Structure 1
Amino acid sequence: MELRQFKYLLSIAEEGTFTAAADKLYISQSALSQQVKSMEQELGVLLFDRSGNRLQFTEAGQLLHQRAKRIVKEVNEAKTAIDELENLYRGTLTVGVVQTVNAYLMPWVVSSFSAQFPGVQLKIQELSAPKIEQKVYNRELDLGVSFDPTEEPDLIFDALFEEELLLITNSKHTLASKKWINVTALDQQKLILLPEGYCTRRIWEKCASKSCIAPELQIEMNTISGLLSVLENNSAVGTILPALTMQMKVSGGLKSVKLKNPTPRRTVGILWRDGGYRSVSSQKFAEIFKQKYNGFEQNS
């Protein structure tokens, strides 16, 4: 049986005759009668008592009528729910974000998205880049905010922006007054860095290796706020972090120095599963993310 046949059944029950029901449904009486006969043949029972002026359900017809009301109601509710989902009145969006981006940019993105689409439940998970790739691939995340290149070939990377890594120090550090330095100036300098598994750390070490320098790693910490807090009270060390880190509140009073020859950079973007479904909410989130970064950069 088809959904339209259930709707025909409900219309007949409301109108009482094939003629009235057919008029309401904008089909011919003969077509409606044929559909009822088709249902009766499929079920092997009569659905209506046709002996009077007004159609009456048989016991089997009454049973099917009750089921038909429930089925049509649930289908209509499902259509409404899907419509609300597509128009962002409801739903859940799960996003994986690397720590550095989560620390300085995500609060603005999340606030904007939630203000525009309050019916969508937003779940932000701070994860390492490899973990984000794994979860996007396994469909545990709707999208990820991470770096290029990726290790997983079945992912698509939509680049959003490129940012430089800077030397960040206490204002009393010997290099704090410089606008820029060659990377070689950091040879033998004491640094505090994110752990080896972090993309920022890998980019910096590749840059240092290319420049044939050997800075002294004094401290490893797995949070940006922790690194910056150490710098507040220690003028003997510096750290290497993305430029927008300086927009964080905890960076107040610290100094940043640009690095050249070479300049370490990383590309931030959205990770999608190749060929995977992209919900309206995930597309809107990516759009807002890009808008917020552009505004953030112009004001920085």
Structure 2
Amino acid sequence: MDLEHLHLFLEVAQYGSFKQVADRHFISQRAVSKQIRQLESELGVTLFQRKANAITLNTQGQFFWAEAQDIVNHYNNAVHELHGLDRLTSQTLQIGYFSIFESHLLKNDVHALSQNYPDVHVTVREESNEHLIKSIHRGSLDIAYSIAYGKTTLPETTGLTVLPVFTGEMVLGLSRDNPLAQQTKINVADLQETPILYYTPESSTFLLESFLASLPQGQQADHVLRVTSIEHMQLLVALNQAVAFYPAGLLENGPADTPDIVYRPFALDSQHYQIVMVYDPQNKNPALHDLLHLKQTN
């Protein structure tokens, strides 16, 4: 299987457009469509629902999306490790994280791990919550940092362990030019006509479902939209074209720390969140137990 076909498949799934992917690679839209059809022919199934103005994954495509992510990630990790064999040590710890906000906690933990256990080699990658859970089950990740907000991070039947490591409240980020910035708290009714953004790098509805689960029963948020870049989200919010929700307590000195955006709490009691570490208790990797020991003793 041509790895380039997988890369294009993942990009089309992410952007929902042959044209957007073609423009990114400076090739024709027809060339992208042809490669996707070659992949579908090789697999013997159709992966997308093609409509006049949109292209979306069908049931087979949604299943293959996770598998393709694993194939590409495994390949990239293998190449990375091949080029770094001269510096590899006896232990390797594979860590995943859900978004840039959890990455700050991850960075501090990896620094502490390196200081206490200098022989441990750490690999890190960013994935959607759903993909993180699958990767831990398959053994391609030892541990993942994710968020529990409005709903549990994983089903109770997974057999994985969830360790809370940080607690805070979700807040709304909006432009200083937005009239809502003058309020001390934001009501859901204030946002009925306003695009609400959330960030996730992969096609995922986890944060959308989490936000909707945090609302009072019967209320809906019809304008909640996903963006694939934190920089794009920040730009739209700063320009007063949208608002977005953020984990308070993890904003300082990060990508969301900008003078053009202010943060206000929701007038709801259900905006509590936790950053959690998810791992398989049956995982015997000594480096994993070293990291957990540090977290539980500090």
More helix by percentage: 1
Seen in structure 2, the aligned counterparts of structure 1 residues 115 and 94 have a Cα distance that, compared at 3 Å, is same
CA–CA separation in structure 2 for the residues paired with 1:205 and 1:115: 41
Please state how far the C-alpha of 1:289 moved relative to its aligned partner: 5.4
1:150-165, aligned counterparts within 5 Å?
150-151=154-155, 153-165=158-170
Instruction: Tell me the SS of whatever aligns to 1:283.
Output: helix
Instruction: Tell me the SS of whatever aligns to 2:235.
Output: helix
State which of 166, 171, 191 in structure 2 corresponds to 1:166: 171
Q: Are 1:237 and 2:242 an aligned pair?
A: yes
Please state how far the C-alpha of 1:282 moved relative to its aligned partner: 1.6
Deviations 1:65-115 (A, max 9, x none): xxxxxxxxxxxxxxxxxxxxxxxx841111111114444433333333334
Q: Percent identity?
A: 13
Deviations 1:248-299 (A, max 9, x none): 43322121101122432333212121433252x223323555788xxxxxxx
Q: Partner letter of residue 172 of structure 2?
A: L
CA–CA separation in structure 1 for the residues paired with 2:297 and 2:258: 25
Instruction: Tell me the SS of whatever aligns to 1:246.
Output: coil
Alignment partner, residue 285 of structure 1: 291
Q: Partner letter of residue 154 of structure 2?
A: T
CA–CA separation in structure 1 for the residues paired with 2:105 and 2:283: 26
Please state how far the C-alpha of 1:230 moved relative to its aligned partner: 2.7
Alignment partner, residue 131 of structure 1: 131
Seen in structure 2, the aligned counterparts of structure 1 residues 120 and 103 have a Cα distance that, compared at 3 Å, is closer
Are the aligned partners of 1:160 and 1:267 in contact in 2 as well (CA < 8 Å)?
yes
Are the aligned partners of 2:144 and 2:278 in contact in 1 as well (CA < 8 Å)?
yes
State which of 185, 204, 210 in structure 1 corresponds to 2:211: 204
Instruction: Tell me the SS of whatever aligns to 2:233.
Output: helix
Are the aligned partners of 1:184 and 1:213 in contact in 2 as well (CA < 8 Å)?
no
Are the aligned partners of 2:130 and 2:206 in contact in 1 as well (CA < 8 Å)?
no
CA–CA separation in structure 1 for the residues paired with 2:103 and 2:93: 19
Seen in structure 2, the aligned counterparts of structure 1 residues 156 and 237 have a Cα distance that, compared at 3 Å, is same
1:85-164, aligned counterparts within 5 Å?
90-146=90-146, 147=148, 148-151=152-155, 153-164=158-169
TM norm structure 2 = 0.58
CA–CA separation in structure 2 for the residues paired with 1:122 and 1:156: 21
Which structure has the larger Rg? Answer: 1
Please state how far the C-alpha of 1:211 moved relative to its aligned partner: 5.7
Alignment partner, residue 227 of structure 1: 233
Instruction: Tell me the SS of whatever aligns to 1:225.
Output: helix
Seen in structure 2, the aligned counterparts of structure 1 residues 287 and 269 have a Cα distance that, compared at 3 Å, is farther
* CA RMSD between the two structures: 2.8
CA–CA separation in structure 1 for the residues paired with 2:247 and 2:103: 11
Structure 1 portions without partners, runs of 5+: 1-88, 293-300
Structure 2 portions without partners, runs of 5+: 1-88
Alignment partner, residue 189 of structure 1: 194
Are the aligned partners of 2:215 and 2:270 in contact in 1 as well (CA < 8 Å)?
no
Seen in structure 2, the aligned counterparts of structure 1 residues 171 and 105 have a Cα distance that, compared at 3 Å, is farther
How many residues are aligned here?
Answer: 201
Are the aligned partners of 1:103 and 1:224 in contact in 2 as well (CA < 8 Å)?
no
Q: Partner letter of residue 291 of structure 2?
A: F
Are the aligned partners of 2:174 and 2:262 in contact in 1 as well (CA < 8 Å)?
yes
Instruction: Tell me the SS of whatever aligns to 2:180.
Output: coil
